[in-house]
Amino acid sequence: MAAAPGVEITLGDGLQPRQPIELAFDLSGAPDLVAQLSEPRRPLIAVDDANGESDLLLASWDPDAQVVTATTPHLSRFTLLVTDPASALREGIARVIAGNDSAEPECASGDSAMVGETDVTLTPAQPGIVPA
């Protein structure tokens, strides 16, 4: 996994936008990161809010413009990640299985599992915020 430096976006007095806004990360000056954006690796935006909660935003990559975009309903700290989501999920499930005494992973009976100290929620692929 690769990552760009995070950026915190705020409005005065901690206000939030009235409607979702589009974030755009221009990677034209980051050739090493651009080189990593190829299948199966995809851009994701990690969102860390003031309450210590984390989310992931699905992002789109325009290789011609070298820009990653995502839509968010709130402002926070955002970090661009380049990762292979399927590989990361397989590794997380393998860790859960290795940490359990039973043969069935914790997530087999629901849509979430603990990976170390992180609660991972598995959700359908769709645009929007995915709880981490």
Specify the CATH number for the domain of residue 70: 2.60.40
pLDDT in tens, 74-112: 889 999 998 887 787 788 788 777 776 555 555 555 666
* Count of Cβ atoms closer than 10 Å to residue 1 Cβ: 11
Looking at the fold, whether 12 and 75 belong to one and the same domain comes out as yes
Residue 71's H or E segment, with its range, is strand 67-72
Residue 98 lies in a domain: yes
pLDDT confidence bin for 126, thresholds 50/70/90: low
pLDDT in tens, 17-70: 899 999 999 999 999 989 988 877 889 898 987 777 778 898 999 999 999 999
Looking at the fold, whether 75 and 91 belong to one and the same domain comes out as no
pLDDT at residue 19, rounded to an integer: 93
- Structure tokens, 24: 């755009």
Higher pLDDT among residues 5 and 28, named by residue: 28
Residue 28 lies in a domain: yes
* Rounded distance between C-alpha atoms, residue 21 and residue 16, angstroms: 10
Q: What's the predicted TM-score (pTM) here? A: 0.64
Count of CA atoms in the C-beta half-sphere (13 A) of 126 = 4
